[in-house]
Amino acid sequence: PSSSSSSSSSSSSSSSTPSSVVEAASAAAALAYPPPNPGRLEREFIDMLDDFARYGSRDIEAVADARYRALFEGVKAGTAEPAVANAFMIVFKDMVPIRVAGRMIYRHLRSVMEDHLEAMAEEEGRIVSETGLSSDQIHRGRRAFLALTEDDAGTTLTIDQLIDSGIVETAVELFGYDEFDEFVSAVDEGGSGLLDFERFMIGLQRCAEGSTSPECTVPYVLEEIAERMGPVNERRKTVPVDERKQKYSERYDDMVSSFAEWEDRVPTG
C-alpha cells in the first residue's frame, strides 16, 4: 500500500509538472513584448513604437521645446523596457479612447520630430558654412544652449540669462577679453539682447576670432561651458528619481481609470 501510494503520488507529481510548465510559459508569452503572433491592433502599436525608436538620443537631445523633448525621451525609454511597452500595448488594444488618442499623439509627435530634423539640418548647414565647426561641435553647443534657456520653447537666450548663468564670465576669461561689455557686444552684434542658437554659435566664433588668446577655440570654450553647467543642471533636478517615478505611475493609473469610465462614450474601431 505504501509503495502504491508513493507511486500514485509520483505519478500525480509528474503529470502536474508539464501542466505547470505550460501555464508558466503561457503567462510569460502573454507578457512578452513584442508578442510572438501580434494581432492587428498590436501590430499597429508595435509599428508606431518602432517608428519612434529610430530617432537617436542625439536627435531627441536637440529638440528645442523642453516639453516635447520630455515626451520623446519618455517614448524612447519605453521602447527599452518591454514591460512598459507591453502595458501600453494592452491598454491601446483594449481601450478605444486610448487608441484614438494614441493615434493622434503619434501623428503629431512624428510631424514635430520630422519638422525638427529638417530645420536642424538646415540650421547646422548655415553654422558650418559660417564657422567651419564640425557637426559634433555644433551638437555640443546646442546642448549647452538648451541647458541655458529657461523658457520651455528653448528657442532664444537672453543676454541676462547668459550673464546669470556665469557663462559670460567663463567666456570672457577663456577668450581673454579685457572688458565684459566688449565680449557681450561681440556675441550680440545686433544689440537685440536675444540670441537664437545660430546667432549664439556664430557669436562665439566671432569672439574666438577677436580673442587675445589664439589657442582658445570655440570647441574648447564649449567643453568648459558643459563642464561648468553640470552642477547647475544637477541642482535643477530637485525631485528625486523615485518620487518622479511614483508621480508618473500615479498619473498613468489615473489616466487608465478615467479612460475606462469613458469607454462606453466612444465608438468602437
Give per-residue pLDDT as tens, 174-226.
777 767 777 777 777 777 778 888 888 888 887 777 666 666 677 777 777 76
Do 107 and 97 meet the contact criterion of CB atoms below 8 Å apart?
A: no
Residue 2 is assigned to a structural domain of this protein:
no
Task: Return the CATH number at 219.
Answer: 1.10.238
Residue 180 is assigned to a structural domain of this protein:
yes
The mean per-residue pLDDT over the stretch 116-141 comes to: 92
Tell whether 115 and 157 lie within a shared domain: no
* Residue 161: all three cell numbers together: 540669462
Structural domain count of the chain: 2
Tell whether 141 and 224 lie within a shared domain: yes
Does the pLDDT value for residue 124 go beyond 70? yes
Other CB atoms within a 10 A radius of the CB of residue 104 amount to 10
Residue 200 is assigned to a structural domain of this protein:
yes
For residue 190, give the 3-state DSSP assignment.
coil
Tell whether 245 and 233 lie within a shared domain: no
5, burial (CB in 10 Å: exposed 0-12, middle 13-18, buried 19+): exposed
Tell whether 118 and 246 lie within a shared domain: yes
Do 204 and 225 meet the contact criterion of CB atoms below 8 Å apart?
A: no
The pLDDT score that the predictor gives to residue 199 is: 85
Domain residues for the domain of 114 are 25-122+239-269
Write out pLDDT tens, residues 44-96.
Answer: 999 999 999 899 999 999 998 888 999 999 888 888 888 889 999 999 999 99
- 71-75, 114-118, 251-255: which range is least confident on average? 251-255
DSSP conformation letters of 83-127: HHHHHHHHHHHH-HHHHHHHHHHHHHHHHHHHHHHHHHHHHHHHH
Tell whether 178 and 248 lie within a shared domain: no
Write out pLDDT tens, residues 173-185.
Answer: 777 776 777 777 7
Tell whether 203 and 228 lie within a shared domain: yes
Tell whether 227 and 192 lie within a shared domain: yes
For residues 185 and 207, give the distance between their C-alpha atoms in angstroms, rounded to a whole number.
Answer: 9
Rg of the chain, C-alpha, whole Å: 27
For residue 249, give the 3-state DSSP assignment.
helix
Residue 229 is assigned to a structural domain of this protein:
yes
Is the pLDDT higher at 26 or at 98? Answer: 98
Per-residue pLDDT band for 164 (boundaries 50, 70, 90) equals confident
Tell whether 141 and 154 lie within a shared domain: yes
Contacts of 45 (CB under 8 A, 6+ apart): 88, 89, 92, 93, 102
Tell whether 142 and 229 lie within a shared domain: yes
Tell whether 112 and 244 lie within a shared domain: yes
For residues 149 and 186, give the distance between their C-alpha atoms in angstroms, rounded to a whole number.
Answer: 20
Does the pLDDT value for residue 259 go beyond 50? yes
Is the pLDDT higher at 175 or at 123? Answer: 123
The closest alpha carbon to 170, from 197, 193, 204, belongs to 204
Tell whether 117 and 205 lie within a shared domain: no
Q: What share of the chain is helix, strand, coil (3-state, %, to 5)?
A: 75, 0, 20
